[in-house]
Amino acid sequence: MLMLFLDRNNLISQYKMKRELNGLKNELQFYRDQSEKDSIELSRLMGDSLELEKLGREKYLMKRDSEDIYIIVRKPAVKK
């Protein structure tokens, strides 16, 4: 005789929760890695004013009063 119990601890629910848990663990690891990279970048920027200026110029398009900025946008190559 086979007895089947359907409650919140059944195999299908356990499988879904395990899959969700693995996804959350991967996401947590991604954010930990990103946080470590950002901490290294922050310490590098706080220690060197030239690096800070380089970041401002490249990422935020900041410039000095005597400079002009030209942005060149390249068109993607057309594949045949």
Convert the pLDDT of each residue in 29-56 to its tens digit: 999 999 999 999 999 989 988 888 888 8
pLDDT for residue 1: 62
Longest dimension (CA), the chain: 88
In angstroms, the CA 18 to CA 20 distance is 5
**CA–CA dist 60, 48 (Å, integer):** 18
CA 46 to chain centre: 22
What is the Cα–Cα distance from 39 to 71, expressed in whole angstroms?
Answer: 29
pTM for the full predicted model: 0.59
pLDDT band at 26 (very low <50, low <70, confident <90, very high): very high
pLDDT value at residue 3: 63
Q: How far is it, in rounded angstroms, from Cα 24 to Cα 51? A: 35
